[in-house]
């Protein structure tokens, strides 16, 4: 179990939730579940017994990342021996987990960790290759969202590495990336070339890739 934060009242009921893929049992305070994901019951299943634990078919590694974040407010993603690219892929897969769409603050925390790793790879090791990450990013970040635009900003401002055998990056992008993102990428590149724009969006607005409320457009992290 993750260590407990000092600013939370840990009295009250606890639910037992078991992950099917590793059979690990988690004891989680209901107040935390209700605070961070009010619809948490939608992505766990009853075991058919009023006294037995709930179960989740979510990959155990992702579920545990969520539990640790609820208790410690940090993203735990390090595995012994994992390469920087492998860790980023795990983060992207966790971000794209369908059940976590109901947990915008958690998704935003993952996004912050992804930005840290992808925009300053020297902190964590060698920069990843475009080919290794682009397909995963396109799956994790929905089209027509500010998160998808991060793909273009990453390509434009971070100069990610390309393998010699990857072929044309332009062909790769035009065959995989949606038109809206490509148009945005073109605008960013033009601003860089002709306006001298060298300041990436994440430097100016830490919330630029966070989930925003449908009504009012406010960032979830700033209002909760």
**Is the model's pLDDT at 61 over the cut of 80?**
yes
- Distance, in Å, from the CA atom of 211 to the CA atom of 102, rounded to the nearest integer, reads 11
**Is the model's pLDDT at 107 over the cut of 80?**
yes
Nearest Cα residue to 207 out of 196, 199, 198, 218: 218
Mean pLDDT of 153-166: 80
Share of the chain above pLDDT 70, in %: 83
Mean pLDDT of 175-195: 92
**Is the model's pLDDT at 214 over the cut of 90?**
no
CA distances from 101 to 36, 91, 108, 114 (A): 12, 14, 10, 17
Comparing 188 with 22, which gets the higher pLDDT?
Answer: 188
Name the token pair of 70.
Answer: 């609820």
- Distance, in Å, from the CA atom of 87 to the CA atom of 116, rounded to the nearest integer, reads 12
């Amino acid at each position: 179990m993750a260590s407990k934060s000092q600013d939370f009242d840990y009295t009250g009921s606890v639910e037992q939730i078991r992950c099917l893929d590793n059979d690990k049992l988690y004891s989680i305070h209901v107040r935390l579940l209700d605070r961070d994901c009010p619809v948490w019951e939608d992505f766990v299943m009853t075991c058919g017994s009023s006294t037995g634990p709930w179960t989740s078919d979510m990959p155990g590694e992702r579920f545990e990342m969520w539990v640790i974040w609820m208790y410690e407010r940090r993203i735990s993603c390090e595995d012994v021996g994992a390469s920087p690219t492998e860790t980023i892929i795990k983060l992207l897969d966790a971000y794209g987990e369908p059940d976590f769409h109901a947990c915008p603050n958690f998704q935003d925390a993952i996004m912050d960790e992804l930005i840290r790793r992808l925009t300053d790879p020297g902190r964590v090791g060698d920069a990843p290759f475009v080919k290794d990450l682009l397909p995963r990013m396109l799956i994790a970040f929905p089209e027509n969202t500010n998160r998808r635009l991060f793909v273009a900003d990453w390509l434009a401002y971070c100069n990610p590495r390309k393998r010699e055998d990857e072929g044309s990056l332009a062909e790769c992008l035009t065959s995989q990336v949606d038109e809206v993102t490509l148009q945005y990428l073109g605008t960013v590149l033009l601003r860089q070339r002709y306006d001298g724009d060298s300041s990436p969006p994440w430097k100016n607005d830490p919330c630029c890739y966070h989930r925003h409320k449908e009504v009012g457009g406010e960032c979830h992290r700033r209002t909760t």
